[in-house]
Amino acid sequence: MQVIDKINEGLKREFNVVVAAAAIHERVEARLVEVGQQVRLPGFRPGKVPMDLLRKRFGQSVRGEVLERTIDESTQAALAEKAIKPASQPKVELVTFEDGSDLEFAIKLEVLPEITPNDLAGISLTRGVVAVGDAEIDKAIENLRRNRGTLEAVGEDRPAAAGDAVIGDFVGRVGGEVFEGGSAQDATIEIGANNFIPGFEDQLIGARKGATVEVKVTFPTDYHANLAGKDAVFEVTVKDIKQRILPALDDAFAKSLGMEDLSALRQYSRKSLEDRFAKTSRLHTKRQLLDRLAEGHSFPVPEGMVDAEFGGIWRQIEEAMKAGQLDAEDAAKSEEDLRAEYRGIAERRVRLGLLLSDIGQKNNVTVLPEDFSKAVMEEAQRYPGQESAVVEYYQRNPNALESLRAPIFEEKVVDFIISRAAVTDLPVTAEELAKQAGGVG
């Protein structure tokens, strides 16, 4: 086998592989002998079929089989000879393969870049720490009470007040025209829950059953592009007004939630809040870390990997465009600018993925069986009441379980880097922490 270099530019490699005609002939003949031992032809005992007849009957198919196997084996041998780590499946193009001639084929591929991670100890990060006090616990328990509360009709003459639920129909208009998604029947609008557009709920305070209220609002600038920043008028017909009756805050309430008493409920709430704040804090710290890594590393990345990543992103953008759900900022940009921006995002993702993989491999970060078990349980908890079904699904589907490996590995590498970085804990409020992490948690 001969390997001839053609292109060696950046991460792109191209070379031709030549396998002598004699070697191909020898392989074909050997394979025909094997076929002769197995085939059954009338008038011949097994293993006694003449080679001329075998060549005539099976020569073409055997040659095709031999060429395919030779190309696969020679490709792997050539990559090993040159110590190449392909970024993706190499492309193989036949050059010559006629009977009696040398087999020659071209291999085109991109290689993985050489990566030298910066000193992890030189990465500076902050970690928000929320001190869970009585106020946070009281708020959490109050939310539990609201969730367990019941809605009961108010007196006929009482107008809607903060905390009430208004049951009614509404029709929204922008510029006098009804818009898609702006109407509903028998909607429950809880005043103060902040589930609707800012300012919508408060304008229902004082409304009475049977009344029609005109609600004027302005859509936020970060709303869907077709509505962002626009003024709208909603006509709300109040069909009923209900008040939320909360359960008494006592041991009986705690027991209804599976707790021994109110004290145990408070302890549980504290632990839940601490866990939630810790997850939110880690999310913010991870985002900082990825930014630091992206800023500190500029090695080249394979175009093919960037193309694939960008393709996935752009499909989502196109779907958002069709559904009118592109955010206002993106909607104001030209397609050319959008493509450039999101290709940059795709390149960043690929670079970070390669960097995290390299750091993980060099530091022997591995995914253990218990990591899979933990990930499956966390996934199951996202579907209350269906936990067993989720666990059984992963038990029955090894491929689905294996699909968890990459995200598990990434999170373990992130934790490893954070453990080596210079991390400063900063006291923050729950609201500040949520804002830092983009509102998550």
What percentage of the chain has pLDDT greater than the value 70? 99
Cα 404 to chain centroid, rounded: 11
pLDDT score at 282: 95
Average pLDDT for 206-216:
95
Q: What is the pLDDT of residues 92-125, one digit of tens each?
A: 999 998 888 999 999 999 999 999 999 999 999 9
pLDDT score at 328: 78
Decide if pLDDT at 45 tops 80.
no
3-class DSSP assignment, residue 218: strand
Model confidence at 172, pLDDT cuts 50, 70, 90, reads very high
Q: What is the pLDDT of residues 356-410, one digit of tens each?
A: 999 999 999 999 999 999 999 999 988 988 999 999 999 999 999 999 999 999 9
**Which CATH number does 2-110 carry?**
3.30.70.1050
Question: Are domains 150-245 and 252-436 of this chain identical in fold?
Answer: no
The answer to which of 29-43, 81-95, 288-302, 401-415 has the lowest mean pLDDT is: 29-43
Domain extents in the chain: 2-110, 150-245, 252-436
What percentage of the chain has pLDDT greater than the value 90? 81
**Which CATH number does 150-245 carry?**
3.10.50.40
d(CA 123, CA 296) in angstroms, rounded, equals 9
3-class DSSP assignment, residue 2: strand
Decide if pLDDT at 439 tops 80.
no
Model confidence at 197, pLDDT cuts 50, 70, 90, reads very high
Q: What is the pLDDT of residues 127-143, one digit of tens each?
A: 999 999 999 999 999 99
Question: In 51-115, where do the E strands start and end?
Answer: 91-96, 103-110
Model confidence at 47, pLDDT cuts 50, 70, 90, reads confident
pLDDT score at 324: 79
End-to-end CA distance of the chain: 60
Decide if pLDDT at 53 tops 60.
yes
pLDDT score at 441: 37
* Cα Dmax for the chain: 106
pLDDT score at 440: 42
Decide if pLDDT at 158 tops 80.
yes
Query: Across all residues in the chain, what is the average pLDDT?
Result: 93
Of how many residues is the chain composed?
441
Decide if pLDDT at 206 tops 80.
yes
Q: Are 244 and 146 in contact (CB under 8 A)?
A: yes
Cα 258 to chain centroid, rounded: 34
Alpha helices in 363-429 (DSSP H): 369-380, 387-396, 398-402, 405-420
Average pLDDT for 175-183:
92
**Which CATH number does 252-436 carry?**
1.10.3120.10
401: exposed, middle or buried (C-beta count within 10 Å: 0-12, 13-18, 19+)? Answer: middle
Nearest to 229 by CA among 238, 246, 217, 215: 217
